[in-house]
Homo-oligomer: A and B are copies of this chain.
């Protein structure tokens, strides 16, 4: 460790883990070393549980959100749910085929952000990023609220605790995710398959009873509170369709999560995507069809799912409770999907320097802790603001998803066009991804561009039909976020320029230091600080701000007795201000300083034994440091005086 003269040495040392507390270790698990990062990958079955739950769970509210809109035209309008649901399933098929192509083109993860960045440019990428991040937050808020609504359908007594239950669930999911994705995947794949089992049982029993004529209709359905009956218009049907598109949210999750799959990543992820779309389509259509058959009524007090299930199983029995539990769990799992994707995407934006770089740091369990905590915080705030109402949150929701679908599919279309213009066996490496000729480029391009058109139309329909209900907020928020991303980016780029060693200037070496020491009394701490100051420089000035005449008199006397080599400047402060006169004095000293001369301000600081003793001191050092750090060429030194 001694200075080796002109030969610089680089010395390596091993560090050890320091546990902050046993409680934290117990809660979040043992720390994982950086070298373990690659091991945290998932297979198809676990991958379906982790990444598909968002999409699958939307069947728990999509039907209800269509019915709520149709209800304003009376119960007779409920029949329109079948054509609307079929339209949504067709849209699902288009989006799935598009994304299946993306997954194979982007084995390292082909979320809308990356696809837009590589093929459309930075602005499109930032728009996609803003839209997706907003939607991940909303996924948590909507899914958890929908989960709580299921619980309240079964136990109406706990309805007053709706918001508290929602926030509690978000915190629980946050803690699980801070432990890391593989472990949480293994734990959480059980509820996904439990849900699939229970919901298929419900659907099969439902269809059996329907064909055998024993299905009947909902007993004691909730009240439909309608003020005015509206006629059925195209606008109303499109609004109902927009509400139902919530069923498609989450379809993009797998394409973002490709790197989390086991090898062969693309194949595994692609197969998982197709499984998911088929299952989703069947469940959604079945629930929509059966709900109308049993005469379910959309309501904030009992979910449509709850009404359907208790009708199918003839009462609120154990089977009913099992389905409701499974639905609640899959909805919480959906929130969990966002806890996997939001931190991943925000880390991506942070690496590209459009978000604070804190988002790139992995915690002791190798997860992006900052993103996880941030997501939990904002989603909890939304649950509180919207009082955990799914119908309140939905108008903010799907618009961002469809916007990012559009950007992503457009980007893919352009990509295929570029591939088509290559010669066979030619490869083009562009922005990190490899393009090579593909004989089917024309059909693949058309598939993606058709997907882009379809989702663009849906984005537009959603924005218009849901505008007054809340979509306007997203239409303001998205450009604001993009502006913020660019502001952050500008800061980092400017910083890099200023710190760069490419244009180094020959600054004068620091030839000497001028020390200014702040004195509030003459005691052991002061003498220790003076002692330190003497080791820095021979040019020392002590400064005392006089706010109390008696005190100043005492200091002057003691100074004359104890200090023989340093001048003391006393600055009168008739209005008892402490910081300002001192800052002015130091600013003037900085102005007068010569090149190569550093001004060093020494501030003695008491370090008390117990934390609460800090309240008994003035913390002048802290305030002074804040005030001085903007003055160029001034350095602040705390000289701590430990009191224990």
Report B-chain residues with C-beta under 8 Å of the C-beta of A562. 501
Contact present for A500 and B528 (CB under 8 Å):
no
Residue of B nearest to A505 (CB): B524
Interface hit among A85-93, A396-404, A613-621: A613-621
CB distance from A591 to the nearest CB of B (A): 13
Interface size class of A (residues with CB under 8 A): 35 or more
Report B-chain residues with C-beta under 8 Å of the C-beta of A10. 556, 559-560, 567-568, 570
How far does the alpha carbon of A15 sit from the alpha carbon of B11 in the complex, in Å?
52
Please tell me if A222 contacts chain B, counting CB pairs below 8 Å: no
Contact present for B540 and A525 (CB under 8 Å):
no
- Residues 461-504 of A, flagged 1 when their CB comes within 8 A of B and 0 if not, give 00000000000000000000000000010011011001111001
Please tell me if A226 contacts chain B, counting CB pairs below 8 Å: no
Residue of B nearest to A529 (CB): B635
Contact present for A498 and B643 (CB under 8 Å):
yes
Residue of B nearest to A536 (CB): B536
Residue of B nearest to A513 (CB): B535
Give the copy number.
Answer: 2
Interface hit among A190-198, A302-310, A603-611: A603-611
Contact present for A13 and B568 (CB under 8 Å):
no
How far does the alpha carbon of A556 sit from the alpha carbon of B8 in the complex, in Å?
11
Interface hit among A114-122, A274-282, A358-366: A358-366
Report B-chain residues with C-beta under 8 Å of the C-beta of A573. 15
CB distance from A458 to the nearest CB of B (A): 36
Between A35, A532, A574, A613, the greatest number of chain B beta carbons within 10 A of the residue's beta carbon is seen for A574
- Residues 348-382 of A, flagged 1 when their CB comes within 8 A of B and 0 if not, give 00000000111001111000000000000000000
Contact present for A358 and B572 (CB under 8 Å):
no
Q: Which of B8, B12, B507 contacts A531 (CB 8 A)?
A: B507
Report B-chain residues with C-beta under 8 Å of the C-beta of A558. 501
CB distance from A81 to the nearest CB of B (A): 43
Please tell me if A423 contacts chain B, counting CB pairs below 8 Å: no
Q: Which of B492, B499, B570 contacts A11 (CB 8 A)?
A: B570
Contact present for B510 and A524 (CB under 8 Å):
no
- Residues 522-542 of A, flagged 1 when their CB comes within 8 A of B and 0 if not, give 111101100110111011110
Contact present for A15 and B581 (CB under 8 Å):
yes
Q: Which A-B residue pairs are the 3 nearest by beta carbons? A: A499-B523, A510-B535, A15-B581
Residues of A within 8 A of B (CB): 1-6, 8-18, 31-35, 356-358, 361-364, 488, 491-492, 494-495, 498-501, 504, 507, 509-513, 521-525, 527-528, 531-532, 534-536, 538-541, 545-549, 556, 558-560, 562-577, 580-581, 584-585, 598, 605-608, 613, 615-616, 618, 625, 629-630, 632, 634-640, 642-643
Selected A-B contacts with CB under 8 Å, 14 pairs: A10-B556, A11-B568, A16-B584, A17-B577, A18-B580, A31-B575, A362-B576, A364-B577, A495-B608, A500-B524, A509-B535, A535-B598, A636-B637, A637-B637
